[in-house]
Amino acid sequence: MKRYIFFQAHPDDLELNCSQLLHYLGIISAKEHDIRIASVTKGEFGLPGFKYDRFKGDILAGVRTRELYAAARIHAIQPDHVDFLGYVDGLVPFSSGFVGRIAKYLNQHRPDVIVAPEGLYTWYYHKDHVNTGRAVFYVIHHGLIDFSPALYFYNTLAPNVFFPFPAEGFRITERLIECHRTQLWLLKRMKHLVRPFAILSGFKVRGTRYAEAYRRVYFGDDSREKNKAGPLASTFTHFYSGLPFFQAKYPQAILEQMRKASRGSRV
């Protein structure tokens, strides 16, 4: 049995990025796997516009928690294998406190394989995602855990590993998206990217049309050269990092309070 941890910044992040791999490990594979989902936030501010202010915070966090549990069950992952790390949607810091929280969590569960959002060469430059990936990388690279898990990044511009899946797999993605009712406004737009990306990735795998793309991250003496991306990925990363990107929308009355709390938690 191998132990897997799938990190996400928000409760719906895995559905468009890792749904086929998760479903294979949880349902299709002949081997039994121990799979955990680690959600850094509960997505408590993931609705657009001030008209939803009365739902943001604890109410939306509760709803999105139940949505995540429902989606995880499709992969046979029960709620006791879904963990929330307690950070605020839109304000995930790259700080010593956050790195320490990730290290503690990994030392507790000791996975063989970690799957996390891309921390560098990403096409979706949301700081919650990027900081989650950077923190996971930092923990392993600097030896803050006493074991050596394999690390794979999703939503990457520099994939080097491809997981093939049949066309029927898109039905699983549709079922997962439907679980996240509060996020349909976003997921139904973004799902149109899934098939084109899957086709592009499928070109890398002989005998299949569709695949999910991941970047295997290497550690050790020769890791710098192995982890180096091509000029196209580097250029796009620089371009994306300079653009305004989607962030959670906060009720103005509590925005400053959260910002102060976030600044106070950084060391």
Tell me, what's the pLDDT at 249? Answer: 60
Angle (CA) 61-7-75 rounded to 5° is: 80
- Judged against a pLDDT cut of 70, whether residue 263 lies above it is answered with no
Specify the CATH architecture of the domain 3-265. 3-Layer(aba) Sandwich (3.40)
Residue 255: which pLDDT band, with cuts at 50, 70 and 90? low
Domain ranges of the chain: 3-265
Tell me, what's the pLDDT at 267? Answer: 43
CB 198 within 8 A of CB 211: yes
Q: What is the pLDDT of residues 122-156, one digit of tens each?
A: 988 889 999 999 999 999 999 999 999 999 999 99
- Judged against a pLDDT cut of 70, whether residue 248 lies above it is answered with no
Tell me, what's the pLDDT at 145? Answer: 97
- Judged against a pLDDT cut of 60, whether residue 245 lies above it is answered with no
- What's the whole-number mean pLDDT along residues 20-43? 97
> Percent of the chain having pLDDT more than 90?
76
Alpha-carbon span 183 to 8, nearest angstrom: 15
Alpha-carbon span 118 to 131, nearest angstrom: 9
Tell me, what's the pLDDT at 233? Answer: 85
> Percent of the chain having pLDDT more than 70?
90
CB 128 within 8 A of CB 40: yes
Asked whether the CA dihedral 83, 86, 92, 95 is positive or negative, the reply is: negative
Collapse the DSSP code of 154 into the 3-class scheme (helix H, G, I; strand E, B; otherwise coil) and give the result: strand
Alpha-carbon span 13 to 171, nearest angstrom: 17
Each as own residue / partner, the long-range contacts of residues 210-213 (CB below 8 Å, 24 or more positions apart, any chain) are 210/164, 210/165, 210/166, 210/167, 210/169, 210/170, 211/162, 211/163, 211/164, 211/165, 212/17, 212/18, 212/20, 212/21, 212/154, 212/162, 212/163, 212/165, 213/154, 213/156, 213/159, 213/161, 213/162
